[in-house]
Structure 1
């Protein structure tokens, strides 16, 4: 067996499920959307997805209603997917992207590597922002943040 730094991962047709209210999350879909290459093992990716599902579900606990699920709360569909399903996946996938980007940015300690790590800080912040915007949309909250100086 040889070492391949950015090898192609074996497709995982596994879905991660949580409680009946929230939709399942496909490992392949996360890997494809976030563009995670083979340097991130399936086990590490699954752990990041578990952590993000736990966090997003905790932040959306106020939406849980008996005898329904998140998809049934939707009012709109886009390409056969409900808006709530799209926003939930966006929240989880952006959270996973921030985690993976944060953990895998520091392997190159050269000047080029340090510059790249600094550049990724903006990307990580954007992923976190997008996660919170998706959560706010699901909670029907405004996305405006005002800070007193």
Structure 2
């Protein structure tokens, strides 16, 4: 379950800049990727993006010892962009999608709202999984860890 755009959004031109090692995140790009409509204000979305950027940067801090910018760690390009930039954006977008879907499903407390919330749980988990996979890919780790007992 995502927020399907049903209203017009005025382009915000808001950029989320963090450590120069990481790519800049555009609020409007996240809004398009995750299909978040105008029910989520720019300020609320900006806050969610900043929280995710902080979390992801914390998880990827070990990469800073390997290069001066994240894109230097890329082994391939897609549409003339380093794969690492796409993976970073994917991690942020999926984290924001999980956060927004989890927070905004609480507003409809009717029976149909409760049913949709149950259905959204799988989606929230999917977003979290996709975020984790993007982070693991950036770290050069496998998606699944299996240990023999």
The two structures have a TM-score, normalised by structure 1, of 0.91
Greater helix proportion: 2
Mapping of residues 24-43 of structure 1, within 5 Å: 24-43=24-43
For structure 1, list consecutive stretches of 5 or more residues without a partner in the other structure. 1-5
Structure 2 residues without counterparts, runs of 5 or longer: 1-5
Matches of 2:117 and 2:145, distance apart in 1: 27
1:91 maps to 91
Runs of 4+ in structure 1 deviating by more than 6 angstroms, as ranges, are none
Question: What is the DSSP-based 3-state SS (H/G/I as helix, E as strand, rest coil) of the residue aligned with 2:92?
Answer: helix
User: What's the counterpart of residue 77 of structure 1?
Assistant: 77
What's the CA shift for 1:22?
0.4
Task: Look up the SS of the partner of 2:54 in the other structure.
Answer: helix
Match of 1:3 in 2: none
Match of 2:17 in 1: 17
1:13-36 Cα distance to aligned partner (Å, 9 max, x none): 121110110010000110000000
TM-score of the aligned structures, taking structure 2 as reference length: 0.91
How big is the alpha-carbon RMSD for the aligned residues of Structure 1 and Structure 2? Answer: 1.6
SS in 2 for 1:39: coil
Match of 1:54 in 2: 54
